[in-house]
Structure 1
């Protein structure tokens, strides 16, 4: 056993605890002791054991009764309980299992068997914890998706209501129509990111490689973000050499990656600052960079921001679901490349995509 664990031993005979302590003292396990079921239940909150070893035959409250109480509490029902018993009849053992026990071991306890059964229950405990974490993550994900869908949807509904009122000037009508279109694009982008990520993770995404003029693709992205940048009084700059080697990529997927990075840079950049999109052709790779002058990304966040539903640091007035960077990572890796974030001196962040030189022309592959 290589993991650290906490085990609660419940037995009215202290000598039995000493036996278990002898068998498990070399296994990186922290043992706690309770002399009765009622005392153990009162101490569960403080001990928070990973496994419980419970004697069956105890005065006042039997191990079976204590097991039933513990397993009836949702807070503790995920803790595996091993019943330690001198009983051997099938009826007695079935009573232990029916009470909620996960396993049992017979007295006198054998050290090899005890370690094997404890190790088995610790694996179950870890699996249970993993499932609970996944369920919490899924619940958080659903809440974040609902929130991020509601924001542009509310903008669409409000703007549509104002248009229907018939009380707006022509200029304001045009402005509200633009707001509706912007919000609709946000909804479409979020849904597209979710669908593409799911397909990539399931190995069902088709990477349709064609020969792409990277300079032209970057310039088109800059043109589409120019209006948004002007609204925030940002200077949007393209550092694109006249001679830039073509790349063999899925043009739609790479464009979405660049759009996501530009969108984040614009979101988190202060007014009056600069956002730069840069590309360069090296001997063995193509480099694409998006640099901003925002608050930057702390060292401890530079890996997790590329995980799903991780948003890193928040900014006032900015809402985002942690999908954009996760999509970028999956899409870049589907092309055999990598993505990272570094400091932009003197202030801000630089997101760098490195794509290897691809030889093979136009073709489609599944990832």
Structure 2
């Protein structure tokens, strides 16, 4: 535990230093004025400052303590032999962490320091809890606002298309009716995905999103997923699936989490490749791990966004008017981590991105359900 002494009486300062060392505290420096105390606080970053109240110089111990508390959030304990009522009142206004009366006893010194450090720790914990609560409140507010905004677009589309079919059905060709029905289905699928993402994110925040592995046949799982997404993506996109390793053997994974991982990555690959093109999915089934690579020819990700890529609600600065919630990659990362896996990205602006997901291969004897 590091302590800085700010005391202009050098004999008192040395007595304090010797007593602190005997109590197993580290004295990082001794300062003899308020100005020097602030400088040495910045230099040594102590855990606690012992500050004499009455000192020579332009600023006394009270002003120095207030500056240290404001700039460095380090607890200050005042040293005093006597002071007038005005000085005591000023000292109290700085919300000090304690007082030590000179001449001091080692046991009083130890007790005061321990109480001060504990008080400071409690303050830090309360501040952290308050900040966490405020952040959660903001996140919930953002989520509600985001959900309302994102649901509005598909709901409006469904309403308008339903009205077209209701009032102008006789004037529409069968092909147009079919196209409008498909657009309604697409809007419903968008809403269901958004709702699923919100519910999954809620489970993550509550810590109730569990890892429940079961054996699946990875080849059939991936084919079904990609066929569904290919139908939604349309003809401008070509989703290509390639395997290496023993993809036809059952593997032990959490199929619910894996579906979230792959569907979110593939949906993003489609969404952020606005001109269409080839979306590549490579599945490498190795003895110890499963590796999935999803590559797209899209807009890429600016380097400035990479550090925040997997944070909730973050969207890259180059997405423009491409719709999205900023939830998908956050959910992907949580699902990967529940597998005790890892996710990485290789990206080039205006050339595309490749997301690489590596999941440890669980022993089949950990899965008691029949493979599906």
What secondary structure, in the 3-state scheme, does the structure 2 residue paired with 1:181 have?
helix
Q: CA deviation at 1:247?
A: 1.0
Q: Distance in 1 between matches of 2:5 and 2:186?
A: 60
- Asked whether 1:137 is paired with 2:140, we answer no
- Asked whether 1:152 is paired with 2:155, we answer no
Q: Distance in 1 between matches of 2:31 and 2:316?
A: 38
- Output the aligned Cα RMSD: 5.2
With over 3 angstroms needed to count, the CA separation of the structure-2 counterparts of 1:267 and 1:356, relative to structure 1, is: same
Aligned residue pairs, count: 333
Which deviates the most, 145-154 or 242-251? Answer: 242-251
- Asked whether 1:276 is paired with 2:280, we answer yes
Give the equivalent residue in structure 2 for 1:174.
181
Task: Say whether the 8 Å CA contact 2:80–2:100 is kept in structure 1.
Answer: yes
Q: CA deviation at 1:281?
A: 1.7
* 1:121-151: CA deviation from partner (whole Å, max 9, x where unpaired): 6645653553454245324422431243122
Q: Mark the runs of 5 or more structure 1 residues left unpaired by the alignment.
A: 41-48
With over 3 angstroms needed to count, the CA separation of the structure-2 counterparts of 1:196 and 1:224, relative to structure 1, is: farther
Q: CA deviation at 1:181?
A: 0.5
Match of 2:197 among 186, 190, 195: 190
Give the equivalent residue in structure 2 for 1:214.
218
Q: Mark the runs of 5 or more structure 2 residues left unpaired by the alignment.
A: 21-25, 39-45, 170-175
- TM-score, normalised to structure 2, is 0.65
Match of 1:250 among 250, 254, 263: 254
- Asked whether 1:230 is paired with 2:234, we answer yes
* 1:213-255: CA deviation from partner (whole Å, max 9, x where unpaired): 1111111111222144337x33322123595332122222211
With over 3 angstroms needed to count, the CA separation of the structure-2 counterparts of 1:344 and 1:300, relative to structure 1, is: closer
What secondary structure, in the 3-state scheme, does the structure 2 residue paired with 1:154 have?
helix
Q: Distance in 1 between matches of 2:27 and 2:341?
A: 40
Q: CA deviation at 1:117?
A: 6.5
Higher gyration radius (CA): 2
Q: Distance in 1 between matches of 2:323 and 2:231?
A: 20
- TM-score, normalised to structure 1, is 0.65
